[in-house]
Chain A
Amino acid sequence: MAFRRHLTALSFAACFVVQPAWGQSVVIHDQGVERIQHSHEGTKPWWVSRSDCVANDVFTFPVDLVDFSGKSLEVWAGKNCTDQAEREGDQADCWKVYDVFPQLKTLDVKVRAQDLVAKTIPGGKAGVGTEADCDKTDSPSVGEAVTLFFMLIDSNNAVAGAHDTYESGFDVVGPAAPTSVSAGVGEERLIVSWSAPSDEDRAGYRIYCDSGTGTGSAPAAGGAAGAAADAAADAVADATTDAAAEAGVGGSDAGSDGGGGTGGSGGTGGSGGGSAGNPDCPSAALTPGAIPQAEYQCGSADGKVATEGTASDLTNGVTYAVAVATTDELGNVGPLSQVACGTPQPVDDFFELYRRAGGKGGGGFCALGADPSHATLGLAAIVLGALLVRRRRRPA
């Protein structure tokens, strides 16, 4: 009996002296995870975009450690990084983004976005990623989902105890460019239309305009095409300016020299030439296939299925080079489409014609806003509903 009491007491005391191996663990405080850049809206709030990468975004994960003595805390990115074979050797598919020998049971783990994007396999570690990695083009345009594994690693490079994970990903490549871009005439604007690419992660479009007379690359004689212009050249055949052609204002047919025409242009341009735009409106700023410069943005359209947008704040009578780029849900801007040309001109809308012809109507109406259709539909629904309710409440 006395022996049993001693054995029980010894076992109980042992729990406080020697912690069993199953007690080791890493726990992330999910509510406390932060990043320097803003989280993204939509389905990928903790992903890394190109701008996040360039800005050297850093994620901070508050973690709690249990029984970490003699072990390193490592963070690996990949699919199944608890498997040692995924971390080492020829078949490794995980890369390390953080490691430390912890001194305290609570600490903030900082993971750099550039280390995540660098995807250095093998040999990854904190600090190996650079801004140059943000321009990598070998990853799919839809990006790559990644799981961050927070693990205690023992001296045998094996995972000790329970680990924790956090879902993230990176997408530093914008979607493909739209095709069949055309620019229709408007007053101090151009109505730009296009065919959408097939990328699944597209979220919108940005329109770029350049009125410069810079030295954009002229197409080579005979239409010799550089590799970068092949894709653009195929689509360039569709580049038109509809209204100018309809108005009978010049317009030139397809031809490598794009010659002829007064005013607006039609037909192909940019055939041949490594970075050729449209010869009817040469632009040094807008190069098909290149990532556009933000300062040339003149319009946008939201939604993945949008096929038209307006380039605004333009000057009548000035010929503009216009191109479109697709954006994804992380804000990455893809390469420019082929360049179309357009010249805004004054137009007469219906009300201008009506007033000019002597019509007296106009000036506003009372009570309702600029577009009363929604408010009035609601009012009509309320009135009809009230009549129905009155009808149902009548005694039988």
Chain B
Amino acid sequence: MRPVLGAALALAAFAWSAAAAAQGTDELGPYGGLDGRHQYQSPQDVAFELRFGPYRPEVDSELSGATPFDDTFGGDKRYMIGLEVDWQALRIPSFGSFGPGMGWGYTRFSGDALLADGSGGRSAQQTTLNIMPFYLVGVLRVDVLARETFVPLVPYAKAGLGYALWWSSDGDGTAHGEDGTLGRGSSYGVQWALGGMFLLDIIDQTSAVEMDATTGVNNSYFFLEWYRSQLGTGDQMKVGTNTWMLGLALEI
């Protein structure tokens, strides 16, 4: 309950915050102007992320010793792909930015169903579990180092609420429990992440400036983050995870 309350308060704080003076243009042109390295920079307030990482839901953790997920899908790694859009609504001078972010991900697990005779043998009939998490988080990025020094690193933190849809098939459509329960549902909870972004502009600053001037993409990053989600409360399937994510981010 406390993590949920904390996340809600963080989001509420954002909603009541006055926006920083936005970058824009005047009669002299764009006054987003020059960054700390005296390079031209167009206005910027949005970040896009393309995310990828291993995903293993904590389904078995809610069951007393039974491991249906592990028994069915084994220990092989599966991966999640995802997208995130962050609105860097509040610029904190000489520190970074803060704002809401919204994300989506998808992962799928498949395996041959076990024979019901208890032998542990596998059939040829495929069973699957699909998970599609959504989330709304507050994102704090500390980009002062990348903007005002030659250290191309941007540490960040995220915290918020997550909501995941999941559905399971028995090889012939949606699965059903022995009591007829439909094999699909939703799970919600909290999530947070800590990570760091590496500014790719330093590899070719000239191209980075040109890209900004032509496309409006201010900066591009490679990022790596530790990601924790606790999705599934009460009677919900626990589909959250504790993992790492990496990917590419663009600030526009």
- Residues from 343 to 396 in A contacting B, C-beta threshold 8 Å: 345-366, 368, 370-373, 376, 380, 383-384, 387, 391, 394-396
Given contacts A350-B127, A357-B68, A364-B184, contact A345 B168 (CB under 8 A): no
Tally of chain A residues near chain B (CB < 8 A)? 51
**Is A199 part of the contact surface with B, judged by Cβ < 8 Å?**
no
Please pick, from B64, B122, B183, the residue contacting A351 in the complex, using a CB distance under 8 A: B183
Tally of chain B residues near chain A (CB < 8 A)? 69
**Is A185 part of the contact surface with B, judged by Cβ < 8 Å?**
yes
* A248 and B121 contacting across the interface, CB-CB below 8 Å: yes
Please pick, from A242, A350, A366, A383, the residue contacting B129 in the complex, using a CB distance under 8 A: A350
B residues less than 8 Å from A383 (CB atoms): 85, 102
Task: Report the minimum CB–CB distance from B245 to chain A (whole Å).
Answer: 17
**Is B172 part of the contact surface with A, judged by Cβ < 8 Å?**
yes
B residues less than 8 Å from A373 (CB atoms): 106, 130, 132
B residues less than 8 Å from A348 (CB atoms): 113-116
- How many inter-chain residue pairs (CB < 8 Å) link A and B? 194
Residue with the highest number of chain B CB atoms closer than 10 Å, among A246, A352, A355, A371: A352
* A361 and B237 contacting across the interface, CB-CB below 8 Å: yes
Given contacts A185-B125, A387-B85, contact A361 B114 (CB under 8 A): no
Task: Report the minimum CB–CB distance from A239 to chain B (whole Å).
Answer: 15
B residues less than 8 Å from A352 (CB atoms): 170, 175-178
B residues less than 8 Å from A372 (CB atoms): 132, 165, 167
* B63 and A363 contacting across the interface, CB-CB below 8 Å: no
B residues less than 8 Å from A186 (CB atoms): 113, 123-125, 171
Please pick, from B43, B104, B172, B237, the residue contacting A354 in the complex, using a CB distance under 8 A: B237
Given contacts A345-B117, A346-B116, A373-B130, contact A357 B66 (CB under 8 A): yes
Over the window 184-210 of chain A, the binary record of Cβ atoms lying under 8 Å from chain B Cβ atoms (1 yes, 0 no) is: 111101110000000000000000000
A350-B171 Cα distance, complex, nearest whole Å: 11
**Is B201 part of the contact surface with A, judged by Cβ < 8 Å?**
no
Task: Say which one of B4-12, B69-77, B90-98, B145-153 lies at the interface with A.
Answer: B69-77
Query: Which B positions have Cβ atoms within 8 angstroms of A?
Result: 24-25, 30, 43, 46, 48, 59, 62-64, 66, 68-69, 71-73, 83, 85, 102, 104, 106, 109, 111, 113-117, 119, 121-125, 127-130, 132, 165-179, 181-187, 216, 232, 234-238, 252
| Complex A-B: 29 CB contacts under 8 Å | A185-B123, A189-B172, A191-B123, A247-B117, A345-B115, A346-B116, A347-B123, A348-B114, A349-B113, A349-B169, A351-B168, A352-B170, A352-B176, A353-B71, A355-B181, A357-B68, A359-B62, A360-B62, A361-B185, A363-B185, A370-B173, A370-B174, A370-B184, A371-B167, A380-B83, A383-B85, A391-B216, A391-B252, A396-B24
